[in-house]
């Protein structure tokens, strides 16, 4: 428990963090990586270069300061981040390093305004928050290792086969190199790949949703090739997977993680909404639902640019055909002439509320969505406009948390 004095001191820094938060976190990462370059093997370099990680950490620090007197309110966020940390291999010994340079950055940026009292208060608060993460993650590591077929950290998997699903998306079927049984996972969860790319000094870790149903003799991920667009560089890991990784290669994989999972106790209808490669966890959820919940209505909505970019379409349609109460709707933003001739889509353009209301038969449902950031922000806004309760809205976003996500919690 934090003292009343510490809580008051932390809360007094909220306005300062609102103004200087990102400057502090930029300086934090700069100082930490200079002192501990080995941590570049864990952090996403692209998010660092684009300033996304710095902004996300600033938002997290700001939220912690706001809720410092009621930290239990941010425990769901702690668990969500802890899943990602366990998948990346974050360990207890990393937390003192982060704390040291976060405090140093606060002092460096704020100068004399960061009094000894403020630094001491943040040190105490950081200790409490760090211990919460360490405890939650320790339990997650234990669960991952002790389940049947489970393991800790990363394990060698063979690429059993590689299947092109669309112009941009390719699936990789992965099996344990040691031949052991695969641990179960919940539809919507992801695995981490630790990649050693020739010519790269550091390893790169990326997290990909499992795109097949649980209970298969393999894990499947379906990866979009991220090519350079404007000032945004190409994705090193996705391009390497598409161009270089072949059947028979060995990849390092962390055990399934994530809290974006189906609520199996709720028997209301399910609405699955995805954009682009965001359909991967939705396909896993759909495959699980058609087998385990034959009486539960399902609406599967997917938005793609056009048919050339639309992955796993035939698989989804086959799954829907086996479920009497399932329906699928396709939305193409820029359909090709072939798409038009084949009447391959139900809506042209972007998702809007009127159309969603017309294809979702029952508003009182559980809503799950995933996709690019702009798409997710749009879907979230549409659901809020429709007055869908926050408790019925579930989503997965890969990358650092953004302001709209903080609002969504």
At 224-247, the pLDDT tens digits run: 999 888 777 888 999 999 999 999
Has 279 been labeled as part of a binding site? yes
At residue 51, the pLDDT reads: 62
At 5-43, the pLDDT tens digits run: 999 999 998 888 888 888 988 899 899 999 999 998 987
- CA–CA distance, 315 with 117 (Å, rounded to integer): 60
Q: Are 25 and 6 in contact (CB under 8 A)?
A: no
The CA–CA distances, whole Å, from 12 to 116, 118, 119 equal 14, 9, 12
At residue 409, the pLDDT reads: 44
What predicted TM-score, i.e. pTM, was given to this entire model?
0.91
From the candidates 29, 62, 95, 368, give the one annotated as an active-site residue. Answer: 95
At 150-182, the pLDDT tens digits run: 998 999 999 999 999 999 999 999 999 999 999
Q: Confirm or reject CATH 3.30.70.270 for domain 154-257, answering yes or no.
A: no
Has 332 been labeled as part of a binding site? no
- According to CATH, the topology of domain 4-146 is Globin-like (1.10.490)
Query: Which residues make Cβ contacts (< 8 Å) with residue 218, sequence separation at least 6?
Result: 160, 173, 174, 175, 182, 212
Has 133 been labeled as part of a binding site? no
Q: Would you place residue 46 in the very low, low, confident or very high pLDDT band (cuts 50, 70, 90)?
A: low
The residues spanned by each domain of the chain are 4-146, 154-257, 270-396
Has 294 been labeled as part of a binding site? no
- According to CATH, the topology of domain 270-396 is Rossmann fold (3.40.50)
At 57-72, the pLDDT tens digits run: 777 777 788 888 887 7
- What are the φ and ψ backbone dihedral angles of 97, each rounded to 5 degrees? -65, -50
Has 76 been labeled as part of a binding site? no
Q: Would you place residue 93 in the very low, low, confident or very high pLDDT band (cuts 50, 70, 90)?
A: very high
In the annotation, is 29 catalytic? Answer: no
From the candidates 137, 186, 226, 405, give the one annotated as an active-site residue. Answer: 137
At residue 117, the pLDDT reads: 94
In the annotation, is 95 catalytic? Answer: yes
- CA–CA distance, 352 with 349 (Å, rounded to integer): 9
């Amino acid at each position: 428990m934090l003292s009343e004095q510490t809580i008051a001191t932390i809360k007094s820094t909220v306005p300062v963090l609102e103004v200087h938060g990102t400057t502090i976190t930029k300086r934090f990462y700069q100082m930490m990586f200079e002192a501990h370059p080995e941590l570049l093997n864990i952090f996403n370099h692209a998010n660092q270069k684009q300033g996304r990680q710095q902004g996300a950490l600033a938002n997290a620090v700001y939220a912690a300061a706001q809720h410092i007197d009621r930290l239990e309110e941010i425990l769901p966020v702690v668990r969500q981040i802890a899943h990602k940390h366990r998948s990346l291999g974050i360990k207890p010994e990393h937390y003192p390093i982060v704390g040291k340079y976060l405090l140093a950055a606060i002092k460096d940026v704020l100068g004399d305004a960061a009094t000894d009292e403020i630094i001491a208060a943040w040190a105490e608060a950081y200790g409490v928050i760090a211990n919460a993460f360490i405890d939650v993650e320790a339990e997650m590591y234990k669960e991952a290792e002790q389940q049947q077929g489970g393991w800790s950290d990363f394990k060698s998997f063979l690429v059993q086969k590689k299947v092109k699903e669309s112009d941009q998306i390719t699936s990789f079927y992965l099996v344990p190199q040691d031949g052991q049984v695969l641990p179960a996972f919940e539809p919507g969860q992801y695995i981490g790949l630790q990649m050693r790319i020739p010519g790269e000094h550091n390893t790169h870790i990326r997290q990909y949703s499992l795109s097949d149903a649980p209970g298969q003799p393999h894990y499947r991920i379906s990866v979009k090739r991220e090519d350079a667009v404007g000032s945004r560089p190409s994705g090193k890991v996705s391009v390497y997977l598409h161009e270089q990784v072949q059947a028979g290669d060995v990849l390092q994989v962390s055990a399934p993680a994530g809290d974006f999972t189906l609520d199996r106790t709720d028997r209301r209808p399910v609405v699955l909404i995805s954009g682009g490669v965001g359909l991967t966890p939705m396909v896993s959820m759909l495959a699980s639902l058609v087998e385990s919940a034959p009486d539960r209505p399902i609406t599967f909505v997917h938005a793609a640019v056009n048919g050339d970019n639309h992955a796993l379409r035939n698989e989804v349609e086959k799954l829907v055909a086996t479920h009497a109460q399932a329906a699928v709707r396709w939305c193409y933003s820029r359909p090709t002439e072939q798409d038009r001739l084949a009447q391959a889509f139900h809506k042209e353009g972007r998702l809007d509320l009127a159309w969603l209301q017309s294809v979702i038969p029952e508003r009182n449902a559980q809503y799950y969505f995933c996709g690019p950031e702009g798409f997710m922000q749009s879907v979230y806004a549409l659901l809020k406009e429709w007055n869908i309760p926050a408790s019925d809205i579930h989503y997965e976003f890969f990358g650092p948390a953004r302001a709209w996500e903080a609002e969504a919690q």
